């Protein structure tokens, strides 16, 4: 198939950026979306045009590196699918596809479609951990954990930290991302010891990074490639409320 691409090009953070039009020719329906971009990039290099820069690594939907807003939706319109797992059979011959970066104040563009998501790392550094050092921990089976709790913790822990939730949200809120980590620990006895400190530290870092508030649009849940549920936000709010009413 042949496609028209409208791709966001931006030389660096200072550049204003604009949409450029490219043709993607002879695209097989078996290609992944990123393989389609590889083909276009080979073409561009041949013509002496700087290839389109985009982030990617594992190409199997687990590392959270790939991003892209495709036709207005982070990771495209296919449910529970990252951009790298989206295949061209979902597009039609002759279609025009808009490709833009994940946009948010806290995710500045580095180049073209590549954005800086290090704000997520800083939130984790503020409290996304259990404070144990290597060694000297109890036997793994010393604390039984009910299967349902372990399963719920795992549901939340499936987050790949891609940032689609932020890109989809009108307020650029990071609540789904932060909520997923807070919930994972809130379901486990290991996480309960530091629950107040964690909720407070992560939320305060999230605010200072410039992420917006959640006003219940639930766009985040709709685009999440790992189907993290908005319940994690409610859980986080409860944890935060608990922390706010607990003396340090």
- Residue in 31, 44, 63, 201 binding ligand FES, rule: CB under 6 A: 63
* Count of residues in contact with another protein, rule CB under 8 A: 76
- Per CB under 8 A, which region of 44-52, 171-179, 229-237, 240-248 contacts another protein? 44-52
Residue that has been written with the tokens 């959640």 in this structure: 214
Q: Site for another protein (CB under 8 A): which residue of 23, 116, 207, 227?
A: 116
65 touches another protein (CB under 8 A): yes
Q: Contact with another protein (CB under 8 A): which of 1, 62, 97, 234? A: 62
Residue 241 binding another protein, by CB under 8 A = no
For position 239 contacting another protein by CB under 8 A, the verdict is no
Residue 131's binding partner out of ligand FES, another protein, none, with CB under 5 to 8 Å set by partner kind: another protein
The residues that touch ligand FES, with contacts defined as CB under 6 A, are 56-59, 61-66, 82, 84
């Amino acid at each position: 198939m042949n496609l028209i691409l409208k791709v966001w090009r931006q030389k660096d953070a200072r550049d204003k950026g604009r949409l450029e039009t490219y043709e993607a020719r002879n695209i097989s329906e078996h290609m992944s979306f990123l393989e389609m971009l590889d083909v276009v990039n080979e073409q561009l290099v041949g013509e002496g045009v700087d290839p389109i820069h985009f982030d990617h690594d594992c190409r199997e939907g687990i590392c959270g590196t790939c991003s892209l807003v495709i036709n207005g939706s982070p990771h495209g319109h296919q449910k529970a699918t990252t951009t790298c797992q989206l295949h061209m059979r979902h597009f039609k011959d002759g279609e025009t596809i808009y490709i833009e970066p994940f946009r948010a104040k806290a995710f500045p563009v580095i180049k073209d479609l590549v954005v800086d998501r290090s704000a997520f790392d800083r939130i984790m550094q503020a409290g996304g951990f259990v404070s144990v050092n290597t060694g000297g921990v109890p036997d793994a089976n010393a604390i039984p954990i009910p299967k349902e709790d372990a399963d719920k913790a795992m549901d939340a822990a499936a987050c790949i930290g891609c940032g689609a939730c932020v890109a989809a949200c009108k307020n650029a809120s990071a609540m789904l991302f932060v909520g997923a980590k807070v919930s994972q620990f809130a379901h486990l006895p290991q996480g309960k010891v530091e629950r107040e400190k964690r909720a407070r530290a992560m939320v305060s870092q999230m605010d200072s990074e410039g992420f917006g508030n959640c006003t219940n649009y639930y766009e985040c849940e709709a685009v999440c490639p790992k189907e993290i549920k908005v319940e994690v936000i409610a859980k986080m709010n409860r944890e935060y409320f608990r922390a706010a009413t607990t003396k340090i």
